[in-house]
Amino acid sequence: PWRNKQLKLFWTNDKERYANYIIEQKLPVSSLRSTIEGYDNNQNEIQVERSSDDSLCIQVYTSKIRSRLVDLIYETQKTLLTKIKDKTLEELSQLHEQFESSERQLRPIPTDLSQLSKALVLWKKLMEDKPEIEARLTPIEEKFKLLDDFMMVFKDDEIKRRQTMRSAYDSFVTMLG
């Protein structure tokens, strides 16, 4: 039945909706890890389950069913990991953009009182937001650790942005003074 185009479309959309739902919940990384590890456990349980019970008279050949279930669980897990990766990279890009934008706006020396006033307002806002910005770093790092544990692949520029997140934050803090 899963070969039917309508069912395949439904299943694909359902995986996407489920993954989006999980991401929208803004669960802690430990909950995301538990969910993903649950998929691994389910796959393993299905693969090692005996195909029949000796106490029954009828034996049912279930290896194709088990194989397809494992595939579906794997696809769902992969979809969720991909959504986590996309969201984490989006959060990382937002942080880097905030650091770069702040620097672009605060680095030039003001030439008049209007520019000085604008820079001072921005500086005060960034100083107020600094604890919240710092609090965003660790969850992003934890999500990257989770993605590494499940062997998600990143592009070179994504790796570079990830590796420079802390140093970019340190430069941001230094700039604020």
| ∠ Cα 33 34 37 (to 5°) | 85
Task: Please say if the pLDDT value at position 41 is more than 60.
Answer: yes
SS3 63: helix
Enter the DSSP assignment of 50. Answer: -
Q: Over 90: is that where the pLDDT of 80 sits?
A: yes
Could you tell me which residue, 70 or 121, shows the higher pLDDT? Answer: 121
- How far apart CA 96 and CA 88 sit, in angstroms, is 12
Structure-token match 């389950």, residue found: 49
Could you tell me the pLDDT band of residue 8, with boundaries at 50, 70 and 90?
low
Q: Mean pLDDT for the chain?
A: 87
pLDDT in tens, 153-177: 999 999 999 999 999 999 999 988 8
Instruction: Provide the greatest CA pair distance for the chain.
Output: 91
SS3 for 77? helix
- Residue 1: the pLDDT is 47
Q: What is the DSSP letter of 61?
A: -
Asked whether the predicted pLDDT for residue 7 surpasses 70, the reply is: no
